[in-house]
Structure 1
C-alpha cells in the first residue's frame, strides 16, 4: 500500500503516533491474538485495548472477528496490512519514469489478449461477477475488460504490453509489478502453485506461490464479495535485465532482455501460466487496483 503524507490520511498516520498501537502491531506480526491476550501482555484493560483496536481497524491496518475462545466467543485480531510506503513527494510513486529513456503503462487485468483456462475459474468486476462461475466461455465476454479479479485452476492469460520504442532503441530492462496468488476452490492458505512467467514465448522462470489467501479480507474488495472466496494475493515484481530475470530480486533464470528481441515494432507479450503437469499445479489468481490489498493493476516500466 502506498499513501501520500497529507491531511487526507490523518486517520492512518495518527495510528502510528501511539507507542501502544505500534506495540500491538508488533505483537500481531507474530500471530493473530485475542483482545484479552493483548491486554494481558500490555498490562492494560480490555476496554483500552478495544479502543486502540478500533482506530487500527478504521485505518485498515488490522481486522477483527469473533471466534470461539476459552470463555465463549471472543474478538480475535489479525494484521490486514502487509506493507505501507509513505510518499513525501507527489512524484515519488514512479521515480524510474523521471528517466527520459523509460516509459510506464498500467494494464488492467481484464485486458488480456489471449487465454486458455480450466475451472475453477471466473472473473469479477467491482460491481458483480462476470458471467457464470467455472465457465471458461465468459473469458471471451466483452465485460471482461471491467474485471479487477480473475482466477483459473490451470492454463494461462497473456497480455500485450504497448511498445513505444523508436528507431534503433532496444529494451534494456522490463519491470512488472502485480498482485498474484494461487487458486483453490474457495480458498486455502496452504496451497502452493508453480506460476510460470513468459515473455514473447520465452519462459523467464517459475515462482512458487505459497497459497490462495482468504483468511483476512482484502482491503480493497467490494462489500458484495463473499468472505469464503479468495481475498488477496502478494505483491510481486518481475524484472528482466541485461543480466538475467528476477522476481523480488531473486534470480530465476539467465534469460536477458537481449534474448527477447525487444526492438521498435516488436511484440511484448507477457504470459502468466499454471501448468497441469507442474510439481504444484495450484492455479492463478490476479487482483487489480480495486480488489485485493494493493491499488495496482499490472504495472510495467520499460527502460531502453
Structure 2
C-alpha cells in the first residue's frame, strides 16, 4: 500500500484530497494544526485502518516514520480573513514548513506537490494568466504576506528540484468552491451564500466589474491528482477559465437562493485583483485535464451543502474542535 502525507488535511481542499487518496487505496497520513482547518471534515475517515491524523504544525518540524511515496503540501491559510489575522504563521508555513517538507521528501525519496495559488500573479497586467507570467505583486501590501509566501514556496521548491533532484510539482490553484468551505472565511462565494442564508444584502467590494473564475472542487482534485502522477516540475494552472464579474456572480447567487436581498457596494480593499482567469493550455496539453462541472450544477450542490448545516454555523467563525478524533 502506497503512503501519502497530506498537510492542511482538515481544510477544504485537504479533506477532499484525503477522500480521493483513500478511494485510490493509499495509506493516508493527515496533518493539520487546525488553526483554520475543521477536524469534522475528516471525522468520516477516522475509523479507517489506512488513515491516521496528526495534530501538528509543519512550520516547527516534520517527522513521519516508515516509507513515504508522496507528499501533498496544502497547509496554509488561504482566505484574506485568515492570513490578515495570522500573517506571521502564513509566512512561516510556506517558508519554514515548505523547507521542512522538501527535506522530508528528499530523505524519503518521495514525490512532493506544493499548493501554490493564482495570487502569485497579484493584480495581473496579463489576461488571462499563463504560467510564464511573473505577476504584479505588492510585497509589503496587506496581501503580501500570502502572495510572497507562495512565491517563495515556488522558488524553494524549484531549487530543491534543480539542486537536489527532488521530484516536485507546483499547482497554481484558482478560485475553487464546493462542500466543506467555511461560510465565514471571507471568500466571495461563501460570503454571498452566507449573507443570503442570513437574510442580509450581498456585499460587493468595488464597483463589481472585477472578475473571478470559479472551479468546482471535484474538478480541481482531479487536476491535482493528474499533476502528482506526472513528471511535470513547472507550475501548472488548475482552475476554470469561465470568467464572470463579481456583480454578475452576486446576481447568480440571489437567483440560486431565491431570496429578495439586493446588492450593496463598498470600497474595494487594497491590492484586490481586478481580473482573475487561468490560461489552462498547459494542463489541457500535458495532463489532458479541463473542468467538467458546470457552474450552475456546482453552485447547486454547494448551496445544498450550506443549507444542510446547523443554523449556528451561519454565525460561527472558528472550527478548531478536535478532541476525541485524534489517533495516538
Alignment TM-score, normalising by the size of structure 2: 0.25
Whose strand fraction is larger, Structure 1's or Structure 2's? Answer: 1
Q: Where is the helix percentage greater, Structure 1 or Structure 2?
A: 2
Which structure would you say has the larger Rg? 1
What is the TM-score of this pair, normalised by structure 1?
0.26
